[in-house]
């Protein structure tokens, strides 16, 4: 690769990286304050420091409430009902925050997947057009071997995405098919 074409590749890659970063920044800015808080809680809970803090908290709570720290009077004797309620509430709220964050991340992933599909469909249409144009060039120069091949004929036709999706669904094992389709087959 020449120095010039290498710099062009880097320029294109840089443009693509900037476009992806811009899409990510836009998605981040669209988050509501509640979503930001939920993401912060979920991220904080996923850190090793949170695990260490819980270990210390439980150890101190148990030491205090089993009478192993005589300087502090036990306030939650065995079976530790206050601890049980506190941990249960923390688990409920943490689960809700994590689910909210996961739901938002899933929506963002779905949006990216839709964008990928659109770009892929556009690329497929462009390549089909390029193949057709190449076929015209081959015909013009009387180069018939390639354009007469069944493979070229197949690739130069526009791809029917619905047909591809049906083929994929019928080829996948039952456990890999979409849930709704599995439910329909189970009810038959």
Give domain status of residue 187, yes or no. no
Decide if pLDDT at 187 tops 70: no
Q: Residue range 33-38: average pLDDT? A: 90
- Between CA 51 and CA 59 the distance in angstroms is 12
Virtual torsion, Cα 130, 136, 138, 140, nearest 10 deg = -150
Give domain status of residue 13, yes or no. no
- pTM assigned to the model: 0.65
* pLDDT confidence of residue 110: 93
pLDDT band at residue 59 under the 50/70/90 scheme = very high
* pLDDT confidence of residue 183: 54
Q: How many domains does the chain have?
A: 1
Q: 11-20: list long-range contacts, CB under 8 Å, 24+ apart.
A: none
Core vs surface per residue 24-63: b (16+ CB within 10 A) or e: eeeeeeeeeeeeeebbebbeeeeeeeeeeeeeeeeeebee
Looking at the chain, the number of H-run helices and the number of E-run strands are 8, 0
- Between CA 124 and CA 118 the distance in angstroms is 10
> What's the mean per-residue pLDDT of the chain?
87
pLDDT (tens digit, 9 = 90+) per residue, 69-118? 888 899 999 999 999 999 999 999 999 999 999 999 999 899 889 999 99
Nearest CA-CA partner of 100 in 47, 33, 29: 33
Residues of the domain holding 76 = 33-169
Give domain status of residue 122, yes or no. yes
Q: Residue range 16-32: average pLDDT? A: 87
């Amino acid at each position: 690769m020449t120095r010039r074409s290498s710099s062009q590749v880097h320029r294109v890659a840089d443009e693509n990286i900037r476009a992806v970063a811009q899409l990510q920044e836009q998605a981040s800015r669209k988050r509501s304050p509640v979503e930001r808080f939920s993401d912060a809680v979920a991220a904080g809970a996923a850190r090793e420091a949170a695990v260490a803090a819980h270990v210390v908290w439980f150890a101190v709570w148990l030491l205090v409430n089993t009478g192993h720290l005589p300087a502090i009077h036990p306030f939650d004797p065995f079976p530790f009902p206050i601890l049980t309620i506190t941990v249960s509430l923390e688990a409920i709220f943490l689960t809700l925050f994590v689910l909210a964050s996961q739901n938002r991340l899933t929506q963002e992933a779905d949006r990216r997947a839709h964008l990928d599909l659109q770009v892929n469909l556009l690329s497929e249409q462009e390549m089909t057009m390029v193949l057709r144009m190449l076929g015209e060039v081959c015909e013009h120069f009387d180069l018939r071997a390639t354009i007469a091949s069944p493979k070229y004929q197949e690739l130069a036709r526009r791809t029917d995405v619905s047909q591809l999706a049906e083929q994929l669904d019928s080829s996948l094992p039952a456990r890999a098919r979409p849930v709704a389709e599995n439910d329909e087959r189970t009810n038959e």
